[in-house]
Amino acid sequence: MARRAEDDTVSATLIVNGKRHEVVVEPETPLLYVLRNDLKLKGTRFGCGLGQCGACTVLVDGKPVQSCDLPVSAAAGKAVTTIEGLGDAARPHPLQRAFTAEQAAQCGYCASGIIMTAKALLDVNPHPTEAQIRSALKGNLCRCGTHQRIVRAIARAAEEMSR
């Protein structure tokens, strides 16, 4: 990151969904704001703004983080993956297919954060138990009450991905 002399901004290089982006922002700007406002990636949601609900979860170097309280300066030069980086309507990721099949997202607001958390879990533990799935999701809130369907969807995706 390079500090710009004329103001308090920095030039940062972000690698988001495999693409390199140069952004000029204040160093403490939350990553979420850059993803949504500058890069126009709207799949990552603003929830609480305090890193407590998980709606804004993205992967940074493969680890789930809440992008609402992660400064851009902490993500500079690292690989950031958002829900848009997993798949699309034409070629959905197994987690996205499983969430659809299990009807795991009622309103859908929390779904991208939950899916990103589940992706990180399945990357390190391809055959999680129900207890391990529930433990991994403890930082993701869903107010619609689809918890059972969410857990089933993640187990379904794990099964599909292991074939």
The string over 65-97, giving b where at least 16 C-beta atoms fall within 10 Å of a residue's C-beta and e elsewhere, is: bbbbbbbbeebbebebbbbbbbeeeeeebbbbb
Going by C-alpha positions, the residue among 1, 4, 120 that lies closest to residue 64 is 120
Same domain, 18 and 78: yes
Of the residues 85, 120, 151, the one at which a domain ends: 85
Same domain, 6 and 76: yes
Output the pLDDT for position 149: 97
Same domain, 71 and 119: no
Q: What mean pLDDT is predicted for residues 45-60?
A: 95
Q: How many structural domains comprise the chain?
A: 2
Question: pLDDT tens-digit profile of 56-76?
Answer: 999 999 999 999 999 999 999
Residue whose pair of structure tokens reads 């899916």 in the numeric block: 115
Dmax of the chain from CA atoms? 55
State which residues form the domain around 107: 94-161
Same domain, 18 and 46: yes
The pLDDT-based confidence of 92 (bands split at 50, 70, 90) is: very high
Q: Provide the CATH number for the domain around residue 134.
A: 1.10.150.120
pTM reported for the whole predicted model: 0.93
Same domain, 36 and 107: no
Question: pLDDT tens-digit profile of 95-107?
Answer: 999 999 999 988 8
